[in-house]
Chain A
Amino acid sequence: MIIDYKHNHSGHCESGATSNLIRHYGLEINEPMAFGIGGGLFFCYLPFIKAQEAPMVAFRTIAGKIFLHSTERIGADVVMIKKFKDPSKAMDELDRNLENGIPTGVQVGTFHLKYFPPKYRLHFNFHNVVVFGRENGVYHIGEPVRENTQLILREDLQKARFARGMFGPNGKMYYIRSVPKQPDMHRAIFLGIQETVKNMIHNPVPFIGVKGMRKLAKDMKKWPAKLPEEKARFYLTQFVRAVEEFGTGGAAFRYIYGAFLKESSELLNNDLIREASNKMGETATLWRELSYRSSRFIKNREESSDSYSILSEILLECAAGEEIIFKGLAKLNTKS
């Protein structure tokens, strides 16, 4: 049974899956909208948690939040099953959904997705795909980051849904029961922006939001003195990969968020948001520049005129830019 499901290529897996699922029920919400309403933009720097032997840097909220928050804010009726103990039960539940014609989002570990070539398959457990069909033990997958839909064997999908390691998906699945025809977009956008503002500038924890960026910049300046050269370079490499590659990458999230602000400013006809969207675009370009210069610096130290302190200054500039944006957005209220 294959559901008539329209696949759209997206930049980011979870917001792509969310927007595709919502669109299946007739409400036109594109990827940046789903990302913004779900409050997906985030920053956190956790030097005491080592992910792949380097300090952890995250540019988005934890997996599952974008789907839950964005659907809640537009008033959709959704089901999310967070955990299965028995893998075969999890697959049966998925089969039942497909029989009922419900496309279902699942969280998977990328290592077991055999349709990717080996060099794409890292142990990364936050990937999201949409399952929309099944034929004799072969599942049809709407893979948000690929242009076309993919096929996967039942046992591989089961392994991917029960990948182990840090933050394993444990068979998490989610689907939509119904979506309202005329949701209150004004309220949804407002709540989405409010959440991001709170995360980025009003969080008291010093590792989160703009404070986290400043802390990372401060630490980055110390890396060459504090660490052996190899290790400092490795830390920087992992940071650049976080900005550009892991889970779409931090710079790309800034562009997506800017696109969301642009679209909502047109929808609500609000100048405050329009101004913020332009600034967001500029900050995103600055992030991309940071990663670009860092990768050149890593590649060839002699030719590059950069140093850790210059890179950390660019990072501070990014932080300052985002602080201005979110302080501006914090002035929004429900009446505007």
Chain B
Amino acid sequence: MEDLNRKQTDADHREDNQEVIKGNPDNLFYNYNRELFYSFDKSKGFTKKVDYQYTANQTIIKQQWDLAEVRLNEVKRLVIAGKRSPIAYYMEKKLMDVPILAAYMNHSTWKIRWHLTRTGFKWMKQETLEHYAEIFEISPGELKKPSFLTNFSEN
């Protein structure tokens, strides 16, 4: 297994981190909170250290958030095109999926999926709409007619 060109200690992994921080802490994606890490060294034993997340790790976390944004834009496009309801947009924005939203609404998943379509949204009761708005933490008016839909037609 020598050919794998192993990094020997935890400290080596941290070097990358220090380089990035030296330049500008804003370069890190998770620059808000320093976490407590335990590490091990053959000579020193177990130590504790307060530091930011690994750089390599932060990169893939950032990739996931970028993907989430791409998904959100895609849903937004579908809503504007009239293929999905605004609930689909806010669900994506709140990082929910259908089972989670169903659990918050106390509905079955198929009912949520029905509400994600334009027809289902149109036939939805006012109180259900208010319940959705409460979960998404917006006003019912905003959910009925989101601000990004300037030429939203009722049909």
Chain A residues with CB under 8 Å of chain B are: 9-11, 32, 111, 116-117, 119-123, 145-147, 164-166, 168, 237, 240-241, 244-245, 252, 255-256, 258-259, 262, 277-278, 280-282, 284-285, 288-289, 291-292, 295-296, 298-299, 310, 313-314, 317
Q: Which of chain B's residues have a CB closer than 8 A to the CB of A262?
A: 45-46
Q: Which of chain A's residues have a CB closer than 8 A to the CB of B1?
A: 313, 317
Partner of B60, one of A9, A119, A122, A299: A299
Q: Are B10 and A11 in contact (CB under 8 A)?
A: no
Give complex CA distance A121, B33 in Å. 13
Assuming A164-B103, A241-B60, is B32 touching A281 (CB within 8 A)? no
Assuming A117-B32, A123-B95, A255-B46, is B38 touching A296 (CB within 8 A)? no
Contact indicator per residue, chain B 78-100, by CB within 8 Å of chain A (1) or not (0): 00000000000000001110011
For A164, the closest partner residue in chain B by CB is: B103
Partner of B38, one of A252, A278, A289: A252
Whole-angstrom distance between the Cβ of A41 and the nearest chain B Cβ: 13
Give complex CA distance A280, B35 in Å. 22
Assuming A282-B40, A284-B40, is B99 touching A296 (CB within 8 A)? no
Q: Which of chain A's residues have a CB closer than 8 A to the CB of B114?
A: none
Assuming A165-B103, A258-B46, A310-B4, is B59 touching A295 (CB within 8 A)? yes
Q: Which of chain B's residues have a CB closer than 8 A to the CB of A119?
A: 29-30, 65
Q: Which of chain B's residues have a CB closer than 8 A to the CB of A241?
A: 60-61, 64
Partner of A123, one of B40, B53, B96: B96
Is B6 at the interface (CB under 8 A from chain A)?
A: yes
Q: Are B99 and A32 in contact (CB under 8 A)?
A: no
Q: Which of chain A's residues have a CB closer than 8 A to the CB of B9?
A: 285
Q: Are B60 and A240 in contact (CB under 8 A)?
A: yes
Q: Are A299 and B103 in contact (CB under 8 A)?
A: no
Q: List 28 A-B contacts (CB under 8 A).
A: A9-B50, A11-B38, A11-B48, A122-B95, A123-B95, A147-B34, A147-B50, A165-B100, A166-B100, A237-B63, A240-B60, A244-B53, A252-B38, A255-B39, A255-B46, A256-B38, A259-B38, A259-B46, A277-B46, A281-B45, A281-B46, A282-B42, A284-B40, A288-B13, A291-B57, A298-B60, A310-B4, A314-B4
Q: In the complex, which residues 77-133 of chain B have their Cβ closer than 8 Å to any Cβ of chain A?
A: 94-96, 99-100, 103-104
Give complex CA distance A162, B63 in Å. 30
For A9, the closest partner residue in chain B by CB is: B36
Q: Are A165 and B38 in contact (CB under 8 A)?
A: no
Q: Known A-B contacts: A278-B42, A299-B60. Give 10 more (CB < 8 A).
A: A9-B50, A166-B99, A168-B103, A237-B60, A241-B61, A245-B57, A259-B38, A288-B10, A292-B56, A317-B1
Q: Are B40 and A255 in contact (CB under 8 A)?
A: yes
Main SS at interface, chain A: helix
Assuming A237-B63, A240-B60, A291-B57, is B37 touching A11 (CB within 8 A)? yes
Give complex CA distance A251, B74 in Å. 35
Q: Which of chain A's residues have a CB closer than 8 A to the CB of B104?
A: 164-165
Whole-angstrom distance between the Cβ of A17 and the nearest chain B Cβ: 14
Is B136 at the interface (CB under 8 A from chain A)?
A: no
Whole-angstrom distance between the Cβ of A266 and the nearest chain B Cβ: 10
For B46, the closest partner residue in chain A by CB is: A259
Q: Are B36 and A11 in contact (CB under 8 A)?
A: yes
Q: Which of chain A's residues have a CB closer than 8 A to the CB of B22?
A: none
Q: Are A285 and B40 in contact (CB under 8 A)?
A: yes
Whole-angstrom distance between the Cβ of A222 and the nearest chain B Cβ: 21
Assuming A119-B30, A281-B40, is B100 touching A145 (CB within 8 A)? no
Assuming A11-B37, A164-B104, A281-B40, is B95 touching A299 (CB within 8 A)? no
Q: Are A245 and B99 in contact (CB under 8 A)?
A: no
For A306, the closest partner residue in chain B by CB is: B4
Q: Are A237 and B37 in contact (CB under 8 A)?
A: no
Whole-angstrom distance between the Cβ of A73 and the nearest chain B Cβ: 22
Q: Which of chain B's residues have a CB closer than 8 A to the CB of A314?
A: 4
Give complex CA distance A38, B59 in Å. 33
Q: Are B33 and A146 in contact (CB under 8 A)?
A: yes
